[in-house]
Amino acid sequence: MNYLDDVEFVTNPDPRCPCILLLDTSGSMNGRPIDALNHGLRAFQVDLAQDALAQRRVEIAIVTFGNGVQMRQEFVTADQFQTPTLIASGDTPMGQAIELAITMLRNRKDQYKANGIAYYRPWIFMITDGAPTDQWQSAAQSVHMEEAAGSLAFFAIGVQGANMQILSQIAVRPPMMLQGLQFVNLFIWLSRSQQRVSSGNVGEQIALPPITGWASL
Amino acid sequence: MDSIPPWHIIGASVTGTSHIKQGNGCDDTHTYQQHSNGSLMLAVADGAGSARHASVGARTAVNAAMKALEQVLDQQDELTSADKWECAIKLVLQVMRAEMEELPSTLQETHIQGEQSSNDKEAPSLNDFATTLLIAIVTSVWIVAAQIGDGAIVVQYDNQIVDVLTQPYHGEYLNQTNFVTDPEYLQYAQITAIQRLPTVKGIALLTDGLENLALDFATKAAYPPFFLPLFRFAARAESTQEELEAFLSSERVCKQTDDDKTILLAVRT
């Protein structure tokens, strides 16, 4: 008989790859931009659904800023993720939204640790077409501290009209400018990136897919 | 000196499905040797996926460690305490590291001599050879295990209990670990020396590709239903390396892990 057939495997919980979408829903996004963003979110859900591993490992949360800061979606694995339909109105409390996202990630990591769940470096992925209307300097400082500690990766995407100069002060990584309203391509890129990150093996620096097709630096 | 009973040793390293997909080879390697005094030396290494010359690094690390271990075993009668073993193993790791440090210039010379058109234009650095390393020695008196990075070394006792001697190290994130090429590599080394209980029956060294199947992440314990059949397999005289390779490449295993994977098993007969 072959003993190798008898080998059984541990059922460890899937490692998680948390990603917060930090989305500008201020009044200036109203009309075609918010429609394109909603469309992009649906493409994100569909694209993630094609990767069985990512479905179980990528965890998505959504925070919106515009007419206040709202947690639109608590962390859920990609297979549970349902795209919301966002509505644009109000000003742009970006600083407060960033602080909330950082706190949410800290709490999530604590939950992973308490449950013996391994995880990958979390992402915050911010999209905006404007400039913060609240105090953003301390949020920028938090982002810099968290990046320096390796606690997260913060990406800033500007849509036409965004104040790229402020974005480059908030994010450590150079902010990227969305071409037109290429939200679908952007979110497919994000989905593919998360698929790569969440399948990363030990010691592998992940090469992200090229950003051509939706952005310029 | 007590005589050492013969061992059955069997090991396999196979390429992970993600490496196949990306057109990469296997960066895992394993080797073993029985010293003339009967002691057993085992080594496995997992070259870092991000390193350009990971497989060269992994092979150099195990070969250099084996050579140094052999010299340690020439004087094993003097190693009468766990502390002395720890010092000896640290020396082995330093010798191994010195050999690793030669790699960048050696490789560059080979390239220049062969005038190979390499697509790696930059001069290689030590980090391009990053690898983990796990080594074990079994003498008539001692079992000594040492590890830098992830993977694990597990022993089996006669009473079917399995126990972890060295554990995987991960940083905060799953895809982080230490390598023998890191500046502080000696500090990262886990070294365990135990007097071999008469009941020790087997030892297994595995790379991180199998961690998720073999170890309980929450308790860091070895999973007996994984290891015991493997030890039984290794104890059987007619078992072959090909069978073990086929198992590691099987769909059942690859569904759980897409990384390179190695297991090296030694069982007292």
pLDDT in tens, A48-69: 998 888 899 999 999 999 989 9
A contacts of B233 (beta carbons < 8 Å): 2-4
The predicted complex's ipTM stands at 0.87
Residue A8 lies in a domain: no
Residues B129, B103: contact at Cβ < 8 Å? yes
pLDDT values of chain B reduced to their tens digit, one per residue, 269 residues: 444 567 899 999 999 887 887 778 889 999 999 998 889 999 999 998 878 899 999 999 999 999 999 999 998 888 999 999 999 999 999 999 999 999 998 887 776 655 444 455 678 899 999 999 999 999 989 999 999 999 999 999 987 899 999 999 888 888 888 999 999 999 999 999 999 777 889 999 999 999 989 999 888 899 999 999 999 999 998 999 999 999 999 999 988 888 899 999 999 87
- Annotate B37-96 with three-state secondary structure: CCCEEEEEEEECCCCCCHHHHHHHHHHHHHHHHHHHHHCHHHCCCHHHHHHHHHHHHHHH
**H-helix or E-strand spanning residue A64:** strand A58-65
How many alpha carbons lie under 13 Å from residue B134 in its C-beta half-sphere? 29
Question: Which residue range(s) make up the domain with A155?
Answer: 13-201
Residues B264, B9: contact at Cβ < 8 Å? yes
Name the residue among B130, B213, B259 with its Cβ closest to that of A9.
B213
Q: How far apart are CA B36 and CA B73, in angstroms?
A: 9
Cα–Cα distances in Å, from B198 out to B53, B163, B184, B227? 41, 15, 36, 20
What 3-state class would DSSP assign to B218?
coil
What is B7-268's CATH topology? Answer: Phosphatase 2c; domain 1 (3.60.40)
Query: What pLDDT, on the 0 to 100 scale, is given for residue B117?
Result: 47
Region A9-32: mean pLDDT is: 94
The two three-digit tokens of residue B157, written as one number: 């006792």
- Which of B61-92 are b and which e, b meaning 16 or more Cβ less than 10 Å from the residue's Cβ? bbbbbbebbeebbeebeebeeeeebbebbeeb
Residue A67 lies in a domain: yes
**Yes or no, beta carbons of A150 and B170 under 8 Å apart:** no
Residues A63, A69: contact at Cβ < 8 Å? yes
The single residue listed with the structure tokens 């030890």 is: B231
The two three-digit tokens of residue A164, written as one number: 């790229």
Query: What pLDDT, on the 0 to 100 scale, is given for residue B129?
Result: 95
Please indicate if any CB of chain A lies within 8 Å of the CB of B259: yes
Q: How many domains does chain A have?
A: 1
How do residues A110-123 score in pLDDT, each as one tens digit? Answer: 999 988 898 999 99
Q: How far apart are CA A135 and CA A94, in angstroms?
A: 8
Residue of A nearest to B220 (CA): A116
DSSP character at residue B11: E
Please indicate if any CB of chain A lies within 8 Å of the CB of B176: yes
CATH of residue A177's domain is 3.40.50.410
Strand segments, DSSP code E, in chain B are: 7-14, 28-34, 40-46, 133-138, 142-148, 152-157, 162-166, 190-195, 200-206, 261-268
Q: How far apart are CA B10 and CA B89, in angstroms?
A: 24
Residue A59 lies in a domain: yes
Query: What pLDDT, on the 0 to 100 scale, is given for residue A200?
Result: 67
> What is chain B's length?
269
Q: How far apart are CA A50 and CA B240, in angstroms?
A: 38
Residue A209 lies in a domain: no
Name the residue among B48, B132, B223 with its Cβ closest to that of A10.
B223
Most distant CA atoms of chain B, gap in Å: 58
Cβ contacts from A onto B, under 8 A: 105
Please indicate if any CB of chain A lies within 8 Å of the CB of B242: no
